[in-house]
């Protein structure tokens, strides 16, 4: 299995089919084998049933149906650990970063990078749609904070579109201790700790007007970043 695509989903009944159609339209044109795993995070709507109905139309679609809500970090971890691909990508169910951005990533893996992440913080990135002012300002502050404490040189840790080699994923994901909005930061901090090569690539990102990121996510991420720094400093990940 060459590629696994992991999509965490919580109450995504309205968006999951367009996203899956986009993913499979892209993947069926590729010359490698693949699987797509939707990890349902205890949705209160009929997300799971919709994905099950779609399974009859497309190959290689798997549903992991959790009955309780555990949060995005937990289900991303679950999906990445259950995926079988030599490369493992996780992406958001809102399709803010579409699957065709993968084209920009695969050559970097072939060139020796272990982790390739989508970024809107570097030259060449394109943003479609306007974010609220508070999200732009807090996002800029958060990026500076994260770079200062645990991820120097990385300009955008928070896009939900990250590609890992199987080896890197199997090393990093079991070590996760952060299960809030800061989990992306922890993944990259662990990658640095274990000596994996990270590449940040510019992508086209579409702002989802009904994003589930609220204002409280930012201070929580900042506090979790400090905890990650402390865990690194005190060897909690060893």
Query: What are 119-137's pLDDT values in tens digits?
Result: 999 999 998 987 666 667 7
- Whether residue 106 contacts residue 191, with contact meaning beta carbons closer than 8 Å, is answered with no
Share of the chain above pLDDT 70, in %: 95
The token pair at 94 is: 């809102």
- For 120-139, the DSSP string reads SSSTT-EEESPPPHHHHHHH
What's the whole-model pTM score? 0.94
Going from N- to C-terminal start, the domains of the chain cover 3-130+156-212
Name the pairing type of β-strands 34-41 and 61-66: parallel
pLDDT, tens digit, for every residue of 20-63?
999 999 999 999 999 999 999 999 999 999 999 999 999 899 99
Share of the chain above pLDDT 90, in %: 84
Backbone φ and ψ for 197, nearest 5 degrees, come out as: -85, 125
The Cα-based distances of 13 to 48, 91, 94 in angstroms read: 8, 16, 11
pLDDT of residue 211: 61
The Cα-based distances of 113 to 39, 55, 138, 197 in angstroms read: 27, 33, 30, 5
Who has greater pLDDT, 144 or 161?
Answer: 161
CA atoms within 13 A on the CB side of 109: 22
Residues 3-130+156-212, CATH architecture:
Alpha-Beta Complex (3.90)
- Whether residue 225 contacts residue 188, with contact meaning beta carbons closer than 8 Å, is answered with no
Rounding to the nearest 10 degrees, give the CA dihedral for residues 39, 204, 224, 64: 0
> Alpha-carbon distance 3 to 20, whole Å?
15
């Amino acid at each position: 299995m060459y590629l696994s695509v992991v999509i965490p989903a919580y109450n995504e009944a309205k968006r999951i089919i367009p996203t899956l159609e986009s993913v499979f339209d892209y993947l069926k044109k590729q010359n490698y084998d693949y699987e797509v795993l939707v990890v349902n995070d205890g949705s209160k709507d009929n997300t799971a049933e919709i994905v099950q109905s779609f399974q009859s139309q497309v190959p290689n679609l798997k549903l992991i149906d959790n009955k309780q809500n555990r949060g995005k970090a937990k289900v991303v971890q679950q999906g990445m650990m259950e995926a079988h691909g030599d490369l493992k990508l996780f992406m958001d169910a809102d399709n803010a970063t579409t699957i065709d951005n993968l084209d920009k990533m695969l050559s970097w893996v072939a060139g020796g990078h272990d982790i390739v992440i989508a970024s809107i913080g570097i030259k060449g990135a394109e943003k479609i749609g306007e974010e609220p002012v508070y999200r732009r300002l807090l996002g800029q502050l958060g990026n500076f904070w994260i770079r200062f404490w645990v991820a120097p040189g990385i300009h955008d840790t928070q896009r939900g579109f990250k590609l890992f080699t199987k080896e890197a994923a199997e090393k990093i994901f079991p070590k996760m201790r952060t299960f809030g909005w800061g989990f992306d930061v922890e993944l990259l901090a662990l990658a640095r700790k274990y000596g994996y090569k990270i590449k940040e690539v510019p992508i086209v990102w579409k702002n989802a007007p009904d994003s589930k990121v609220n204002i409280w996510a930012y201070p929580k991420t900042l506090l979790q970043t400090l905890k990650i720094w402390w865990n690194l400093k005190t060897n909690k990940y060893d």
